[in-house]
Chain A
Amino acid sequence: MISAEHLTKYYGDFAAVRDLTFTIEDGHVYGFLGPNGAGKSTTMNIMTGCLSATSGRVTIDGHDIFEEPKEAKKQIGYLPEQPPLYLTETPEEYLRFVGEAKGLKKAELADQLETVLLQTGTAGVRNRRIGELSKGYRQRVGIAQALLGNPRVIILDEPTVGLDPIQILEIRDLIRELGKNHTVLFSSHILSEVQAICDRILILSHGRLIAMGDAESLEQTLLTPGEIALIADAGIEETRAALVPLAENGLLSEDGMLPYSLNPQEDGRTRAVLRLTRDQNADDLCRALFFAFSGAGIALLELTPKKASLEDIFLELTEDRKEESAS
């Protein structure tokens, strides 16, 4: 378990990370999501002891990363944004060095070396110079390095950046595989990637943690209310009249609780968009709408509940902050 408490990091006057507090539980795949410059790499560098925080602290299984670095670092495998590889070495030589530095004994090292080479699919290139390898393979060697010593937590900083689509899929599969035996924390600025791999998401923006949770609960709790779009086979006045009972039931009102807009279409139909408030259930409202219109004898040609996607949340959250920090 990793816990970060009130992490703050200043570069000169610039605050890269501000008052970050979170816990990483064992056995999950965590995604660190945020636009470029949000403080993802800085946070990861602090968590792995590569960088000191201006204030706040990180503990790994109770070991402070700066006060007991040896114990803490043994629990972590880290792949920085640029894989830290020595280009003149072969993957095998390189991994041997990392394994030795992590304190693995001879037999143990030979054993783990074979395991991680197989696990990351780099066994075929073990004796080629790293400088000759493609970016995808270099990334794999970087991940293999993080896996040595069998750490509980694997931290990967933007592991798919700069890879081709096939390589990206392979690396994602690999991360998913790793998630079965390790706690994985990886960063990305691509939402769909995080959504595809992670079961917990942390969203960072401008150095602050602005949301944390699993994908569904993020959608449910943070979600800007969704919308329901409908097209009624009637003019604008009739449509408005049909909506009146809903307003009377408290489901709908024009004064803010549930705003809606009506637009007459060219063919005599009316298009309405109703925005849901946070505590409203889209299904309930759809049901009410259906009966309201059928009671008024108006056919509904279209009734579409629109859920806001995580993409919308991401954009909205990160953009809000932009305005905030600009003001």
Chain B
Amino acid sequence: MTAVLRHELRLYFHSLTAYIFGALLLAFTGIGAMLYNIQAAVSNFEFVLSFGSFVFVIIVPILTMRVIAEERRQKTDQLLYSLPVTTTQVVLGKYLALLTVYLLPLCVISLYPLIFSQFGDVYLLTSYGSLFAFFLMGAAFLAVGVFLSSLTDNQGFAAGIGIVVILLNYYSVALSEYVSATAIGSAAALFVLFLALGVLVRCLTGNEALGWGVCLVLMAAVTAAYLFSPASFEGLLPKIMAALSLFERFSAFVNGVFDLTAIVYYASVIIFFLFLTVQSLEKRRYA
């Protein structure tokens, strides 16, 4: 695993990606710090992070698009398969390398509140609490990006899908106000969601029956639940959209709440998508 980690880091710093990633992250938070902390003279550093979090839409796909897609295109994945390391070790090594690249600019950013505190009252606990949550949110997006990269051998495609997914996640709370809040609307949306899930399962396992099975069982469950208690479906869709938003969870920290459930949520997202990535890589062996 450390071999993969070191190797990945070398690749990132050989190419421009690590530098572009770091530069954009620093630029966005830098602009935020200038606007909020310097010009508007607000002492809350967490607002800067809230402002800067939009940058994930661009920089996460830049960093993660090649991580597995490029291995596949250059056929270097065959080397990884033939080495005496497990797929889990490969994925973890790659993911830790991404985290390292991500942590370096965050170390620089972590100095900002300290600098500002020299010139006024900065509430350091919320600043660093938010920074920690900011790190976890980014780490969760990186895990999603790694998974998307494992689905294709086309970097551009991985990046494009990554941007769409993170953008939708960013606006999902805003959008949730416009979607149908009625019970039947929510049930219909769940049907569509499960259909998509079925397609995903079918793609990942290559097993038609399993894909349909998952989809139909879930749909049957929703239908039964709906017949049993239609009232519980009222406003369900907006609730789900808000619940799925990684950005929404972060806003709790910005408001000064150290939300443990959010941390558990981010950690689950990371584990879930890394697990899916391992499955996606393993599946290719069974193609």
Contacts and interface: CB of A to CB of B under 8 A. Distances in A.
Interface of A: 11, 45, 48-52, 69-70, 73-74, 76, 78, 80, 82, 84-89, 93, 97-98, 100-103, 145
Nearest to B89: A101
B3 A82 contact: no
Interface string B1-23: 01110110011001100000000
Given A89-B10, A97-B3, A84 B78 contact: yes
B286 A52 contact: yes
Contacts of B75: 80, 82, 84
15 contacts: A48-B81, A48-B82, A50-B82, A69-B84, A69-B86, A78-B82, A86-B7, A89-B10, A89-B11, A97-B7, A97-B10, A98-B83, A101-B83, A102-B84, A103-B84
Interface residues of B, number: 24
Contacts of B11: 86, 88-89
Nearest to A11: B287
A48 B85 CA distance: 13
B117 interface: no
Contacts of A82: 75, 78
Contacts of A74: 84
A-B pairs with lowest CB-CB distance, top 9: A100-B3, A84-B79, A73-B84, A101-B3, A97-B7, A50-B81, A84-B76, A78-B82, A80-B78
B286 A49 contact: no
B285 A86 contact: no
Given A52-B285, A78-B82, A145-B79, A100 B2 contact: yes
A10 to B, nearest CB: 11
A107 to B, nearest CB: 16
Contacts of A70: 84, 86
Contacts of B83: 73, 98, 101-102
Contacts of B81: 48-50
B39 interface: no
Contacts of A93: 10
A97 B5 CA distance: 10
A204 to B, nearest CB: 20
A242 to B, nearest CB: 64
Nearest to A82: B75
B74 interface: yes
Contacts of A102: 83-84
A74 B285 CA distance: 19
Contacts of A98: 79, 83
Interface in B54-97: 74-79, 81-86
Contacts of A103: 84
Contacts of A49: 81-82, 285
Contacts of B15: 88
Contact of A84 (B3, B6, B74): B74
A76 B4 CA distance: 19
B14 A101 contact: no
Contacts of A78: 78, 82
Given A69-B86, A88-B14, A50 B6 contact: no
A70 B79 CA distance: 14
Contacts of B85: 101
A70 to B, nearest CB: 5
Contacts of B74: 84-87
Nearest to B84: A73
B14 A89 contact: yes
Nearest to B15: A88
Nearest to A129: B14
Interface in B1-54: 2-4, 6-7, 10-11, 14-15
